[in-house]
A = this chain, B = another copy of it.
Amino acid sequence: MLDNKENIKTSISELGEFGLIEHLTKNFKLKNKTSVRGVGDDAAVISCSDEEQLVVTTDLLVEGVHFDLSFMPLKHLGYKAVMVNLSDVYAMNAEASQITVSIAVSNRFSVEDLEDLYKGIETASKIYDVDVIGGDTTSSKTGLLISITAIGRCKKEELVYRSGANENDLLVVSGDVGAAYLGMQILNRENQVFQVNPNAQPDLDSYTYLIERQLKPEARKDIPKLLRDLELTPTSMIDISDGLSSEIMHLCKQSNVGCNLYEDKIPLDPQVISTCEELNLDSTTIALSGGEDYELLFTIKAGDFDKIKGNPNLTVIGHMTDKNEGAHLITRGNTKIPLIARGWDAIQE
C-alpha cells in the first residue's frame, strides 16, 4: 500500500534568523562549570583563570547571501570577515586575541584568489593584534564560504552583557550609523550602470566614506580601551550589525527595560545626509534599519555622563525607561512612535 500521508514541513524563512536560532538551541543547557554564558549574547563566555574570562564568537559568511564578489574584492572580504567577528568580541568589552579561519571554496577560485583573501585576513589580524591560530580549508560545490571564530579576554568584572541595562541609563552609540548600507546602495547602482555600459567611468568622490564603510569596515577595538581609560564600565552593550533599531530592541528585551531614542541625536555623517537627499531616502530609516555599521551601542548609568561628555567618539542618543513604556523613537517633531526591529535577516527565502 502506498503511504499517502504528507509530512507537513515548516519553511525556515517562517522563523527568521533569530527565531530559528532560538528554536534550535532552546534545549541546550549549560552543564560544565567552565561555561559561564551560552547562546544569546554577542559572544559566549567561558571561565579561564580566577581573574579572567574568555569570550568566544563565531560568524559564517556565505557568497550570494552576505557578500557579492562582483564588487567586493577578495582582500577586502578577508578583512571584513575578521572585523565582523572582532566586533562581537569588543561588544563584550573584551580584548580580541585569537581567531580561527575556515573556508570552503569551489574550483572557480584559484590559489591566487585565496592568497588575496588571506592577505586581507592577515592585514586585519596584524592591525587588530589577533593571531590566526587555526582553521580548515575544504572544497565547496558552489561559491565561497568563510567561517571565523574569534576568542577574546576580559577581566571578570569588566565583562558587559546585553542584559544589564536599567531604567534611566543613558543609551550611547560610537561613531555614526547608516553609512555602510548606503555604500551598498551606491555599489549596487554602479554595478547596474556597469552592466549596461562597461565603459562608463563611475564618479564616486561624493560617496568615499559610504563605500569605505561597506567594503572596509573597522571594528571598534578602541572603544573598550577608551572605556577603560575613562574608568567606565557600560551596564549593557551590543554591536550594530543588523541596524540600530534591531539592536536597541535586543538590549531592551534582554535587560527587561524600555527605551526612548531621540531622532535628532542619531549621529549621521554628512555623506549619509547628502546621499539620502539625492536618493530620496529618509536618513532616520536608513540609520535605524541599515545595518553593517559595526559600531558599539551601550548603556551607562546617568551618573557617568560626565565621563563621556564632549567625547567625539560617543553620542548619547536616548535613555532607558520602564519596560512597560516600550521602545520608542522621539521624532524631531516630538512625536513618539514605536520602534520596529527591521534589521537585516540572513535567513531569507
- The interface of chain A, by Cβ under 8 A from chain B, is 7, 9-15, 17, 20-21, 23-25, 27-32, 34-35, 37-39, 43-44, 46, 48-50, 54, 56-60, 62-66, 97-98, 100, 102-105, 107, 109-115, 118, 122, 125, 129-143, 145, 147, 149, 151, 153, 346-349
Contacts and interface: CB of A to CB of B under 8 A. Distances in A.
Contacts of A349: 107
A102 B60 contact: yes
B135 A39 contact: yes
A57 B107 contact: no
B44 A107 contact: no
B143 A141 contact: yes
Nearest to A12: B111
A110 B347 contact: no
A141 B65 contact: yes
A59 B134 CA distance: 10
29 contacts: A9-B111, A9-B113, A10-B111, A11-B107, A12-B107, A13-B107, A15-B111, A23-B115, A25-B118, A28-B131, A30-B133, A32-B130, A37-B133, A38-B134, A43-B134, A44-B98, A44-B133, A44-B134, A46-B97, A46-B98, A46-B151, A49-B49, A56-B133, A58-B136, A60-B103, A60-B104, A137-B346, A140-B145, A145-B145
Nearest to A23: B111
The 10 closest A-B pairs by CB, nearest first: A9-B110, A44-B133, A147-B147, A49-B49, A10-B111, A44-B134, A138-B346, A35-B131, A38-B133, A149-B149
Contact of A132 (B28, B62, B137): B28
A100 B149 contact: yes
Contacts of A24: 114-115, 118, 137
Nearest to A37: B133
Nearest to A7: B112
B138 A17 contact: yes
A94 to B, nearest CB: 12
A103 to B, nearest CB: 8
B135 A32 contact: no
